[in-house]
Structure 1
Amino acid sequence: MADVFDVVVVGGGPTGENAGARAAAAGLSVALVEHELLGGECSYWACIPSKALLRPAEALWLVKQVPGSREAIKGPLVASAVLEHRDALVNHYHDDSQAKWAERAKLTVVRGHGKLAGPRKVRVESKDGATRELEARRAVVLATGSRPRIPDIPGLREARPWDNREGTGARQVPRRLLVLGGGVVAVELAQAWRSLGSEVTLVVRGPSLLSRFEPFVGERVAQALRESGVTVLLDTEATSVQRPGGDGEVTVKLSTGAERRADALLVGMGRVAHTDALGLETVGLKPGEAVRVDDQLRAKGVEGGWLYACGDVNGRNLLTHMGKYQARLVGDVIAGKKASAWADSKATPQVIFTHPQVASVGLTEAQARDAGLPVRTVEYDLGKVTGTVLFGENLGGITKLVVDEKRRVVLGATFVGPEVGEMLHAATIAVAGEVSLDTLWHAVPSFPTMSEVWLRLLETYGL
Structure 2
Amino acid sequence: MTTENTRTYDVIVIGAGPVGENVADRTSAAGLSTVIVESELAGGECSYWACEPSKALLRPALLRADAVHVPGLGHAVRGPLDTEAVLAHRDRMSADWKDDGQVEWIKSAGIDLLRGHGRLAGEREVSVQTPAGHTLRLRARHAVALCTGSRAALPPLPGIENLRPWTSREATSARKPPRRLAVAGAGVVGVEMATAWQALGSRVTLLARGERLLPRMEPFAGELVTERLREAGADVRFNVSVVAAERARDGEVRTTLSDGGELTADEILFATGRAPRSEDVGLDTVGLAPGDWIATDDSLTVTAVPGNWLYAVGDVNRRALFTHQGKYQARIAGAVIGARARGEELDTGRWAPHSSTADTEAVPGVVFTDPEVASVGLTVREAERAGRAVEVVDYEIGHLAGALQYRPDYRGKARVLIDRDRQVVVGATFAGPGVGELLYSATVAITAEVPVERLWHAVPAFPTISEVWLRLLEIRRDS
TM-score range, shorter chain: over 0.9
Q: How does 1:2-13 map to 2 (within 5 A)?
A: 2-13=6-17
Residue of structure 1 aligned with 2:412, choices 384, 391, 397: 397
TM superposition outliers: structure 1 runs of 4+ over 6 Å: none
The answer as to whether partners of 2:68 and 2:78 remain within 8 angstroms in 1 is no
Residue of structure 2 aligned with 1:382, choices 374, 397, 406: 397
User: Residue in 2 aligned with 1:431?
Assistant: 446
User: Residue in 2 aligned with 1:239?
Assistant: 243
> What secondary structure, in the 3-state scheme, does the structure 1 residue paired with 2:32 have?
coil
Q: How does 1:61-80 map to 2 (within 5 A)?
A: 61-73=65-77, 75-80=79-84
In structure 1, give the amino acid aligned to 2:105: W
User: Residue in 2 aligned with 1:320?
Assistant: 323
> What secondary structure, in the 3-state scheme, does the structure 2 residue paired with 1:232 have?
strand
> What secondary structure, in the 3-state scheme, does the structure 2 residue paired with 1:272 have?
strand
Deviations 1:402-455 (A, max 9, x none): 110110000010000111101110000001111110110000000110000000
User: Residue in 1 aligned with 2:436?
Assistant: 421
Verify: 1:188 aligned to 2:192, yes or no. Answer: yes
Q: How does 1:32-47 map to 2 (within 5 A)?
A: 32-47=36-51
The Cα shift of 1:331 comes to: 0.1
The answer as to whether partners of 1:123 and 1:134 remain within 8 angstroms in 2 is yes
Alignment partners' CA distance in 2, 1:133 and 1:293: 26
Deviations 1:53-89 (A, max 9, x none): 0000111111111110112236210100000000011
Alignment partners' CA distance in 1, 2:207 and 2:157: 14
Alignment partners' CA distance in 1, 2:70 and 2:7: 61
User: Residue in 2 aligned with 1:293?
Assistant: 296
- So what's the TM-score if we normalise by structure 2? 0.95
Verify: 1:356 aligned to 2:337, yes or no. Answer: no
Q: How does 1:169-180 map to 2 (within 5 A)?
A: 169-180=173-184
Alignment partners' CA distance in 1, 2:152 and 2:76: 41
User: Residue in 1 aligned with 2:56?
Assistant: 52
Q: How does 1:331-350 map to 2 (within 5 A)?
A: 331-336=334-339, 338=347, 339-350=354-365
The Cα shift of 1:153 comes to: 1.8
How many residues of Structure 1 are paired with residues of Structure 2 in the alignment?
462
Alignment partners' CA distance in 1, 2:78 and 2:189: 30
Q: How does 1:189-228 map to 2 (within 5 A)?
A: 189-228=193-232
User: Residue in 1 aligned with 2:343?
Assistant: none
The answer as to whether partners of 1:400 and 1:415 remain within 8 angstroms in 2 is yes
User: Residue in 1 aligned with 2:459?
Assistant: 444
Deviations 1:101-137 (A, max 9, x none): 1111111111101000000011111112111111100
Alignment partners' CA distance in 1, 2:92 and 2:195: 21
Alignment partners' CA distance in 2, 1:443 and 1:24: 39
In structure 2, give the amino acid aligned to 1:378: V
In structure 1, give the amino acid aligned to 2:431: V
The answer as to whether partners of 2:315 and 2:322 remain within 8 angstroms in 1 is yes
Verify: 1:117 aligned to 2:117, yes or no. Answer: no
Alignment partners' CA distance in 1, 2:78 and 2:122: 63
In structure 2, give the amino acid aligned to 1:260: L
Deviations 1:206-245 (A, max 9, x none): 1111111011111111111111111011000111001146
Deviations 1:297-338 (A, max 9, x none): 111111111000010111111111101111110000000064
Farther-moved stretch of structure 1 (335-344 vs 448-457): 335-344
Farther-moved stretch of structure 1 (126-135 vs 38-47): 126-135
> What secondary structure, in the 3-state scheme, does the structure 1 residue paired with 2:305 have?
coil
In structure 2, give the amino acid aligned to 1:443: A
Alignment partners' CA distance in 2, 1:156 and 1:332: 43
Alignment partners' CA distance in 1, 2:88 and 2:74: 25
Alignment partners' CA distance in 1, 2:455 and 2:144: 43
Verify: 1:132 aligned to 2:136, yes or no. Answer: yes
Residue of structure 2 aligned with 1:145, choices 142, 149, 152: 149
Residue of structure 1 aligned with 2:264, choices 261, 264, 267: 261
- Report percent identity of matched pairs: 51
The answer as to whether partners of 1:150 and 1:157 remain within 8 angstroms in 2 is no
Deviations 1:229-284 (A, max 9, x none): 11011000111001146x71010111111111011111100001111001000011
In structure 2, give the amino acid aligned to 1:328: R
The Cα shift of 1:342 comes to: 1.1
Verify: 1:249 aligned to 2:252, yes or no. Answer: yes
User: Residue in 1 aligned with 2:25?
Assistant: 21
User: Residue in 2 aligned with 1:308?
Assistant: 311
Alignment partners' CA distance in 2, 1:244 and 1:66: 45
Q: Which runs of 5+ in 1 are unaligned?
A: none
> What secondary structure, in the 3-state scheme, does the structure 2 residue paired with 1:137 have?
strand
Alignment partners' CA distance in 1, 2:247 and 2:240: 20
Alignment partners' CA distance in 2, 1:369 and 1:432: 20
The Cα shift of 1:204 comes to: 1.1
In structure 2, give the amino acid aligned to 1:321: H
> What secondary structure, in the 3-state scheme, does the structure 1 residue paired with 2:46 have?
helix
User: Residue in 2 aligned with 1:408?
Assistant: 423
> What secondary structure, in the 3-state scheme, does the structure 2 residue paired with 1:206 have?
coil
Deviations 1:132-154 (A, max 9, x none): 11110000000000010101122
Alignment partners' CA distance in 2, 1:373 and 1:156: 43
Alignment partners' CA distance in 2, 1:81 and 1:297: 42
The answer as to whether partners of 1:35 and 1:111 remain within 8 angstroms in 2 is yes
